[in-house]
Chains A and B, each alone.
Chain A
Amino acid sequence: AQSVSQHNHHVILSEAASLELGCNYSYGGTVNLFWYVQYPGQHLQLLLKYFSGDPLVKGIKGFEAEFIKSKFSFNLRKPSVQWSDTAEYFCAVTSGGSNDYKLSFGAGTTVTVRA
């Protein structure tokens, strides 16, 4: 299994602040990258994904992430957060190729947005 590291365990910020969550993975080959979000009391939802092409991907709710291959990173960003962005965020990776469908998850980052 691959190793996925999320640098921040808990982030607290105010509304309208910018958010950046770090994610690094260990696999050196082709990868597929994901960010999932889990709102309080809810199931995990896909926020965005990267398979190939433009390394800057846009997801739902104003989130974006940038794949930097040389840094083995896939950081999540949002320019201006809202209280409703309070949630736990998970980075996940599969190795590339149509036959590897098993996700390896990071430990998660809890984001608390204060009104």
Chain B
Amino acid sequence: NAGVTQTPKFRVLKTGQSMTLLCAQDMNHEYMYWYRQDPGMGLRLIHYSVGEGTTAKGEVPDGYNVSRLKKQNFLLGLESAAPSQTSVYFCASSYSSSGGLAKNIQYFGAGTRLSVL
């Protein structure tokens, strides 16, 4: 059981280049999230999805786009990378259950370290 898998693990981009980060989960979770982690700032939510075909903005969505075409995959895109997007990106997923509270427990991937020069 792989859990939440992120690819790639590392990437270096030049300013203006584009790329897509892939998150895949094999736990049949409904909810998926993208965060960025910066020193001294903890994790901040970029975008999230509450189900296949749906996405919503989080706390810091500017400069990013997402897609959830399949339940198990959540893609994060950078159309024109900027140095301010240098960060570690984490994907997470969580259940959706009739009990409700299970949605609060998020399971994280190993992260993608991105540098934009």
Contact = CB atoms under 8 A, between A and B. Distances in A.
A32 B42 contact: no
Interface in A13-57: 32, 34, 36, 42-46, 49, 51
Contacts, number: 60
A87 interface: no
A94 B94 CA distance: 14
B109 A98 contact: no
A98 B103 contact: yes
Contacts of A9: 40
Interface residues of A, number: 27
Given A44-B108, A51-B101, A51-B104, 5 more contacts: A9-B40, A90-B42, A101-B103, A102-B33, A105-B42
27 contacts: A1-B59, A6-B42, A9-B40, A32-B101, A32-B104, A34-B105, A42-B110, A43-B90, A43-B108, A43-B109, A43-B111, A45-B108, A46-B107, A49-B104, A90-B42, A94-B104, A99-B100, A101-B94, A101-B104, A103-B43, A103-B45, A103-B104, A103-B106, A105-B43, A105-B44, A107-B41, A107-B42
